[in-house]
Structure 1
Amino acid sequence: MKSLINILLLVIMTTTWSCKNETKNDNTAVINTETIDKPDESLLNIISISHATMVLETENETIYVDPTGGLEAFKDQKKPTLILITDIHGDHLSLETLEALDLTNTTLIAPLAVVEKLPVNITQYNIVTLKNDDNFEFNGINIEAIPMYNLREEALKYHSKGRGNGYVLTINDERIYISGDTEDIPEMRNLKNIDKAFVCMNLPYTMPVESAASAVLDFKPKTVFPYHYRGTEGLSDIENFKKLVNEGDKNIEVVFLEWY
């Protein structure tokens, strides 16, 4: 009888341990194949696709940011519930990709300059136009349109103020900044309480790594992801960006994802 009881106790303990492990595996956030323990309310899956293109997954939403690369680039991804487009240039606005995606029951958010370029077969879907400083609520996600533009005299022709949008998304109390194509503008430097930031740094179109690092040290995100760092002379030196940021503030985590 004692032997039977001991066996039953062992089975119960083993089952309990297994259930705990399964629960722990459910409470994770995946960042480009790296798994980090997080509470359920912070679950966010960040998938780098290429250059400025990414997918953000929450428990209920799949967000495509500047989808490019055609349908093939998203063959392993869930259907988007939300699409954010920052600007009119081809590395942000790909009509070919938008036309290939299934946009039924998808909301597409973009600045007016982008919306004006969308063909009728795309505008038949749910399109929301945001200008700089506008806010929009989407299924519990707050979306702020942030200015993005150039400052250097030689770069003013690339991105004029008011044409494109960066975005700050508030997802489960986390604030996520997506810079779009910009330099170290006051609107970036003055951001507050940013948990995750995607910051561009490529010449001649946006800004050098020194300017990007300086801006990051001003607005102090908890984690920063260099992205959009391919320029006419190749890839920007993101290792130097990390060095500059961590020399200025060792508490800011710099995370490299696979964009190229």
Structure 2
Amino acid sequence: MKFTLLLSAALAAFAASAQAQTATPTPVAPRVAADQIATKKGPLTVQPITHGSVVLTWNGKTIYVDPYGGAAAYAGLAAPDVILITDIHGDHLDPQTLAGLSVGKALMVVPKAVAEKLPAEYKAQVRILNNGQRLDTLGMTVSAIPMYNLPETADAPHTKGRGNGYVLGLGGKNVYLSGDTEDIVEMRALKGIDVAFVCMNLPYTMDVNQAAQGVLAFKPGIVYPYHYRGQNGLSDVDGFKKTVNAANKKIDVRLRNWYPAAQ
């Protein structure tokens, strides 16, 4: 009898072990493949995540831009050395996603309005940049530039001075992150941008044609349409590419799927 009980226990344990090893993990929408862009200090890896979030890896450093949408979307990626947050809205400042990530050693570069809303536990990690200010850190430069709606009104979704677009200097390459903006004069006046991430979603930022005209004004080498989900679904990024390249074939418009979970 004792032997029978031991045998039954052993078989049950074996079955439980086998079940645990073959259990199907919780599915996570697959990320699109990363791109690599050459710089003077090795490749810049561009990993689209979702909506307005991208992870950049360069010179041994990892930069998270607007981490949002749940920590599972960042599984397998290196912990951030720098986190850039552009605005106070929940698709840019997402405390729940931050809480699920290994951000303890990350420098958080944010506008003042974001710093005021971040959980107190991050206070020691925060560096506030206002529009027009620049930070040199970890071998890179981070410049904060305006992002806002037109016309400028007090009740606009994004008022001038509250949020930041960013221009990063990485190994001789300049990378522009638009944040939530329209085709403002500050964007049109940009010079020497090698890689640009440009938003296009009504009614929060700008339409596809505005985005195209803004890009044609500052002529980046490479442009990624991102942050293109609005009230009426996804914006026509194919139309954006056609409009840009009809006027300037030299601009490399890279269409990537920033919303894999929607497929």
Q: TM-score, normalised by structure 2?
A: 0.83
Is 2:36–2:45's contact at 8 Å kept on the other side of the alignment? no
Cα 1:228–1:37 change in 2 (3 A) is closer
Instruction: Name the structure 2 match of 1:111.
Output: 111
**Separation in 2, partners of 1:133, 1:64:** 21
Whether 1:99 aligns to 2:102 is no
Report the equivalent of 1:85. 85
Question: Which has the bigger relative contact order, CA under 8 A and spacing at least 6?
Answer: 2
How far apart in 2 are the matches of 1:168 and 1:37? 16
Mapped contact 2:37–2:43 kept (Cα < 8 A): no
Shift of 1:156: 5.3
Segments of 5+ residues of structure 2 without an aligned counterpart are 1-30
Q: Which amino acid counterpart does residue 222 of structure 1 have in structure 2?
A: G
Structure 2 residue aligned with 1:63:
63
Amino acid at match of 1:163: R
Is contact 1:42–1:174 with CA below 8 Å preserved after alignment? no
Q: Does 1:175 align with 2:189?
A: no
Kept in 2: contact 1:107–1:126 (CA 8 A): yes
Alignment gaps of 5+ in structure 1: 1-30
Hey, what does 1:145 align to over in structure 2? 144
- 1:151-166 aligned at under 5 Å gives the runs 151-152=150-151, 157-166=156-165
What is the rounded CA distance, in whole Å, between the counterparts of 1:64 and 1:254 in structure 2? 22
Q: Is the 8 A contact 2:34 2:47 kept in 1?
A: no
> Which amino acid is 1:59 matched to?
N
**Paired positions, count:** 229
Deviations 1:109-167 (A, max 9, x none): 000000000121222x4110010010001111010001000004799520000000000
TM-score, normalisation: structure 1: 0.84
1:7 alignment partner in structure 2? none
Work out the CA distance in 1 between the residues paired with 2:72 and 2:100: 9
Cα pair distance change 1:36/1:178, threshold 3 Å:
closer
SS at match of 2:241: helix
Distance 2:76 2:190 in 1: 34
Q: How far 1:71 moved relative to its partner?
A: 1.8
Cα displacement (A) at 1:39: 6.4
Residue number in structure 1 paired with 2:26? none
| Contact map agreement 1:143 1:170 (CA 8 A) in 2 | yes
What secondary structure is seen at the aligned counterpart in 2 of 1:188? helix
Matches within 5 A, 1:1-260: 32-33=32-33, 38=38, 41-123=41-123, 125-152=124-151, 157-260=156-259
Cα deviation 1:67-113 (Å, max 9, x = unaligned): 01222111111100000000000100001111222222210000000
Counterpart in 2 of 1:28?
Answer: none
Aligned mates of 1:37, 1:196 — CA distance in 2: 9
Task: Output the CA distance in 2 between the equivalents of 1:127 and 1:153.
Answer: 28
